[in-house]
Amino acid sequence: MDIGIDAIGFYTPHYYVDLVKLAKARGDDPDKYTIGIGQDQMAVAPATQDIISMAANAVDALPSARLDGRLGMVIVASESGVDESKAAAITVARLTGLNPWVRAFDIKEACYGATAGLLMARDYVAAHPTKTALVIASDIARYGLASGGEVTQGAGAVAMVISAQPRVLALQDDAVAYTEDIPDFFRPTGMTVPVVDGHYSTAAYLDFVTKIVGQHQVQYHDTITDYAALLFHLPFTKMGKKALAALTDSVRLGQRLTAASQLSRQVGNIYTGSLYLSLLSLLCHDKTMQAGDRIGLFSYGSGAVGEFFSGILAPGFADHIGQAAVIQLLAEREELTIPAYEQMFNAQIPLGDAPAAFPPENSPARFTVGGRRDHARWYRDTTKSMTEGD
Ligand code: HMG
């Protein structure tokens, strides 16, 4: 029985910064950002978007018929959550009106969390073939203004329905995972930005990718030539190029990686959703991919866990990735000047539980953060005349 991704929904905030302008403002050569790091634009989350509202907006981008009574499990993966205890998945399920007869919970392991959720969902459907699962990756990547990692920030969410007879990608039972306790990137409780050693983290990533793909070849007797495309977690798109170069010099795989990097170039690092944004980008931007093609996916989460697995494209996959909505979402975005970006970056809802209230966000987003009241955040839903704040 094939099990895998049946539909994909994507959301990124309404605002972005042009990285040539950011480079100039920081006194850097723009080529360093656009060529050396491989990023053109960076999504900026206003205070009215958090990982819950973004996750709900990504779910809203899915065909609603896929979220019927068969849904049995809702997983949110994130490393930028807003509560130390309560799962974001519970609030997302309520906001989006999901069937309440589900297991809803969160997963955290840096940028690897969504892969853990996806493979857990695959096992769940294998055990219960009439059921489906919803896996949502949602994150805001923040390193700080003028910090070393600033150009690799971003924000967004990817929602995936996992089912039997999937219409996008059948996940193969061939995952190879590796874990090693390393201090490349971590964010102690109470800190708003991570402690990161950028160059060490890129070296660790490359060490993981060669080790894990090599082990996959030993265990499953595959070679790079078996793959129509290789996808990677993309903290910045040059990282994917480095990873591919460590494995092969194939021109064909290089071209496909270019297509798979397009959306990340415009959005930035969305942490745990980044690998799946790359899958979406490949399917939207490379018209030569065909049903039956094998795709290899490399997931990396600092700390660190890496995993390599593969999937086979399903017939008609292009009809289930919401491509028109992705194009519209990005086309409608608003560019921020550098001072406006800096102001938005600093105007976040403070840590803790103090009351806060925001005016409605001037954007097409259905779900936004309204503020915080009685210790908890509340959300606006533009399809409802009465909001939680009324
Ligand atoms: P940096 O020190 O500012 O940049 O940090 P650099 O000096 O290393 O230069 C970057 C590249 O630009 C180099 O290319 C330069 O040669 C090139 P490379 O040698 O690497 O191929 N360059 C130029 N190219 C053209 N024209 C020029 C020019 N000047 C320089 N004029 C760094 C870059 C990525 C380290 C930094 O932004 C950072 O720390 N980012 C955050 C950490 C990160 O993204 N790590 C990636 C691996 S870890 C991971 O993926 C997990 C993560 O997503 C978190 C999680 O799991 O939760 C981060």
CA distance 347 to 5: 37
Task: Determine the pLDDT at residue 385.
Answer: 73
Task: Determine the pLDDT at residue 229.
Answer: 98
Q: 198 CA distance to ligand 1 centroid (A)?
A: 7
Nearest by Cα to 187 from 196, 174, 176: 196
Closest ligand 1 atom to Cα of 112: 56
Q: Report the Cα 370 to chain-centroid distance in Å.
A: 23
Q: Which domains does the chain have, with CATH numbers?
A: 3-169+322-381 (3.40.47.10), 172-316 (3.40.47.10)
Of the residues 29, 202, 209, 231, which should be mutated to test ligand 1's pocket, given the most ligand atoms within 8 Å of the CB? Answer: 202
CA distance 344 to 338: 10
Closest ligand 1 atom to Cα of 269: 53
Phi, psi of 310, rounded to the nearest 5 degrees: -130, 165
Task: Determine whether 233 is an active site residue.
Answer: yes
Q: Which one from 14, 216, 233, 320 is the annotated catalytic residue?
A: 233
Task: Determine whether 111 is an active site residue.
Answer: yes
Ligand 1 pocket, residues with Cβ under 6 angstroms = 29, 31-32, 35-37, 79, 110-111, 148-149, 151-152, 184-185, 196, 198-199, 201-202, 205, 233, 235-236, 238-239, 269, 271, 300-302
* pLDDT tens series, the chain, 390 aa: 999 999 999 999 999 999 999 999 999 999 999 999 999 999 999 999 999 999 999 999 998 888 999 999 999 999 999 999 999 999 999 999 999 999 999 999 999 999 999 999 999 999 999 999 999 999 999 999 999 999 999 999 999 999 999 999 999 999 999 999 999 999 999 999 999 999 999 999 999 999 999 999 999 999 999 999 999 999 999 999 999 999 999 999 999 999 999 999 999 999 999 999 999 999 999 999 999 999 999 999 999 999 999 999 999 999 999 999 999 999 999 999 999 999 999 999 988 999 999 999 999 999 999 999 999 999 999 999 766 655
Of the residues 140, 147, 201, which should be mutated to test ligand 1's pocket, given the most ligand atoms within 8 Å of the CB? Answer: 201
Task: Determine the pLDDT at residue 390.
Answer: 55
Task: Determine the pLDDT at residue 387.
Answer: 64
For the entire predicted model, the pTM comes to 0.98
The partner residues of 357 in beta bridges, in order of sequence, read 371
Distances, alpha carbon 311 to alpha carbons 2, 292, 317, in Å = 10, 9, 12
Q: 37 CA distance to ligand 1 centroid (A)?
A: 6
DSSP type of residue 111:
B
Task: Determine the pLDDT at residue 269.
Answer: 98
Task: Determine the pLDDT at residue 96.
Answer: 97
Give nearest CA residue, ligand 1 atom 36.
Answer: 149
CA distance 371 to 356: 5
Q: Which residue pairs, CB below 8 angstroms and at least 24 apart, start in 30-35?
A: 33/151
Rg (CA), the chain: 20
Burial of 160 per CB tally in 10 Å (0-12, 13-18, 19+): buried
Task: Determine the pLDDT at residue 193.
Answer: 97
Q: Which one from 14, 109, 111, 150 is the annotated catalytic residue?
A: 111
Closest ligand 1 atom to Cα of 271: 53
Task: Determine whether 342 is an active site residue.
Answer: no
Task: Determine the pLDDT at residue 144.
Answer: 98
What tokens does 220 get? 């499953």
Task: Determine the pLDDT at residue 64.
Answer: 86
